[in-house]
């Protein structure tokens, strides 16, 4: 199943810089592993915001929830999920 996911990140300003950097490094590693194995199909930055739009290709809701909850930045995110279906006009 395909899902469009918007992730808005709000790291607390009082989080020590070293800790924030460590979380971001773990996030990068985690996301790149998922991209390499084909489950995180697209990752696009939203211009001017600390946010992204991503497309995931996973078995279903439970797998997507597990992936998103495993994101190191998950505690600092607001996430919206839209399930996608094929459009009848697509070629």
Q: Map out the domains of the chain with their CATH numbers.
A: 2-84 (3.30.70.1060)
- What's residue 71's pLDDT? 98
User: What whole-number distance in Å separates Cα of residue 63 and Cα of residue 36?
Assistant: 17
In this prediction, residue 85 carries a pLDDT of: 97
Give the pLDDT of residue 63: 98
Phi, psi of 70 (to 5 degrees): -85, -10
Cβ–Cβ under 8 Å, residues 72 and 26: yes
pLDDT tens digits for range 34-87: 999 999 999 999 999 999 999 999 999 999 999 999 999 999 999 999 999 999
| pLDDT score, position 54 | 98
**pTM of the full structure:** 0.94
Q: Which two tokens stand for residue 59?
A: 């078995």
pLDDT band at 10 (very low <50, low <70, confident <90, very high): very high
């Amino acid at each position: 199943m395909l899902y469009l996911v918007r992730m808005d990140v709000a790291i607390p300003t009082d989080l020590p810089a070293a800790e924030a950097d460590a979380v971001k490094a773990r996030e990068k590693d985690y996301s790149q592993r998922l991209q390499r194995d084909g489950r995180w199909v697209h990752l696009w930055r939203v211009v001017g915001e600390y946010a992204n739009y991503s497309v995931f290709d996973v078995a279903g809701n439970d797998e997507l929830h597990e992936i998103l909850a495993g994101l190191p930045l998950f505690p600092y995110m607001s996430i919206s999920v839209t399930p996608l279906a094929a459009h009848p006009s697509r070629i």
